[in-house]
Amino acid sequence: MPGLVRGMARTAAVVGTATATRNAVNRRQANKNVAAYSDAMNQSYQPPPQAQYVPPPQYVEVMPTEAQIGQEDVITQLERLGMLRAQGILTEEEFAAQKAKLLGL
């Protein structure tokens, strides 16, 4: 029995030391939390600076004029005529006649 009592005493001492250590750590952490909270409450609140409003860029849609549309159409038609001539579908005379007609010559 004396060994059992000695073992129980040793266990009680270890448990007591562990409990005391845990309590000390908990108290230290609680004190740090209180100090951090106090510091945060004592600082004056300053809202973040307001961003300056910058209006979005203005875009202007430029519509092509009728003359530009007509030019593009003539250019497209001339390109098609050139391809037809290159493929041998139109002769030189037919190509020249259609070209003169498109250009108003």
Does the CA dihedral 19-25-28-30 come out positive or negative?
A: negative
Is the pLDDT at 21 greater than 70? The verdict is: yes
CA angle, residues 66, 71, 75, in degrees to nearest 5: 150
Instruction: Let me know if residue 49 belongs to a domain.
Output: no
Could you report the per-residue pLDDT of 36-87, keeping only the tens digit for each?
A: 888 877 777 777 788 788 888 887 777 666 666 666 688 888 888 888 899 9
Q: Which domain holds residue 5?
A: 1-43
The pLDDT, as a whole number, for residue 86 is: 92
User: Are 33 and 70 found together in one domain?
Assistant: no
Percent of the chain with pLDDT over 70: 76
Q: Full-prediction pTM beyond 0.75?
A: no
Instruction: Let me know if residue 94 belongs to a domain.
Output: yes
Round to the nearest angstrom and report the end-to-end CA distance of the chain. 130
Q: If you average pLDDT over residues 6-10, what whole number do you get?
A: 67
The CA distance from 94 to 82, in Å, is 11
